Amino acid sequence: MKMNELCDGARGRFVVLLSSLTKGVTAKGAPYLSFVFQDKTGSIAAKYWSPTQEQLIALKAGMIVEVDGEVISYNKQLQMKVNTLKVVDRSHVDLNDFIKEGDIPRSVLKKNISQIIDQFENETLKTLILKVMEKVELDFYNYPAAAKIHHDFVGGLATHVWGMIKLANVICDCYPSLNRELLISGVILHDIGKCVELSGPVITEYTTEGKLLGHISIMQAFVYEVAKENHLLGEEVMLVRHMILSHHGEYEFGSPVLPMIPEAEILHYIDNIDARMNILSKAYEGVEEGEFTARQFALENRAFYKSKLK
C-alpha cells in the first residue's frame, strides 16, 4: 500500500523513506522514537514504542526501512504504530519511489515560467532574471519551497512561484496601476535564496549559511552581485531587492524592512495566499467530509472544517 491509500485500521508491511526521526522518553523513563515515513504519494507520522538500543543509535533520517505496523486515527489524523522495523539496503530500491513531487511536472513548470520571462519588455528585469537563472536554474526547479510547512516536495519552489505568478496576473488585471513585470520579477526571485538556505530536495534541512543568514538576506545580496556583474544599474534592481527584503511583510516574521511600494505589498499577500492554500491542502488529506482537521500550527493553530459541499 502507498501512503495515500492508508486508512484507519490498515495493517501490514510497508517499505518507506524515514524522512524524520525524533527521540523521546515516556513518563516511566522508557525510550521511544517518533518518525515521519514517506513515499512519493504522501507521508504519515509514526511511533515506535519498543526500539532496541542498537536501533536508537543506528537509525537516521534518510534511511529506507521496512516497517510492520498498524494505522490508527489519533486526534483525527492517521498515525502508524510500529511493531517491528528493519533497514533496507538502498541499492535494492529506486529512491524515486519515495520522493514526493507536486501535481505539475517540473518540465511543465519550466516551460510556463520561461515563457513568462521571455515576454518581458523591461530589458533590465528580463536580463536580471535570466542571469540569476543561469546560476540557479537546476536547483530552482528541484528544490522545495520549505523544509516542512508548505510546498515541501521536489519542485516545490517552482510550484509555489508558478502559483504566485497566476495570482499576480489576476491581481494586475484588477489593478492596472501595478507594474506587472516588476511584481512578477519579485515573485520569481523572492525565495531563490532557499536554494542556499536549505540542504536539498530530499531530507531537507537548514544549512549553516541558511541558519546564520536566512534566505531573504542571501537572495537580496545575490541579486545585487548579479546586477553588478552585468552592469544593471536601473532603479528596477533596487525595487526588486526591496521586494525580496520586505516579502514577509512584518518585522516579526523576518522582513528587515516593511513593504513600501504597491508591488511589494501585493507580493507579500500572494506569497501568503499560495503558502496557506498549500498548507490547507495538506491538512485536508485523510480528513472525512464533515470533520475537522488537526490544529495547524502555521495557521494560528486553528482546526479547519471540511465541508460536505461539492
CA distance 210 to 105: 27
Q: What is the DSSP letter of 33?
A: E
Where would I find the H helices in 86-145? 106-118, 123-142
Least reliable range by pLDDT among 96-105, 220-229, 241-250, 270-279: 96-105
CA distance 125 to 230: 12
Q: Report the percent of the chain where pLDDT is more than 90.
A: 67
CATH for 3-97?
A: 2.40.50.140
- Taking a C-beta distance cutoff of 8 angstroms, is the pair 13, 67 a contact? yes
Going along 26-76, which residue ranges are E strands? Answer: 31-39, 42-48, 64-74
pLDDT in tens, 13-71: 989 999 889 999 998 899 999 999 988 888 889 999 989 999 999 998 888 999 999 99
Name the pairing type of β-strands 11-25 and 64-74. antiparallel
pLDDT of 75 reads 74
What backbone phi and psi angles, to 5 degrees, belong to 197? -65, -35
pLDDT in tens, 202-244: 778 899 999 999 999 999 999 999 999 999 988 999 999 999 9
149: confidence class by pLDDT, cuts 50, 70, 90: confident
The one-letter code for the residue type at 137 is E
194 C-beta neighbours (distance < 10 Å), count: 26
Burial class of residue 252 in the structure, from the number of CB atoms within 10 Å of its CB (0-12 exposed, 13-18 middle, 19+ buried) = exposed
308 C-beta neighbours (distance < 10 Å), count: 9
Give pTM, 2 decimals.
0.84
Please say if the pLDDT value at position 94 is more than 90: no
Domain boundaries, the chain: 3-97, 101-282
pLDDT of 73 reads 85
Q: Report the percent of the chain where pLDDT is more than 70.
A: 100
Residues 191-206: what's their mean pLDDT?
Answer: 87
Burial class of residue 118 in the structure, from the number of CB atoms within 10 Å of its CB (0-12 exposed, 13-18 middle, 19+ buried) = exposed
CA distance 158 to 139: 10
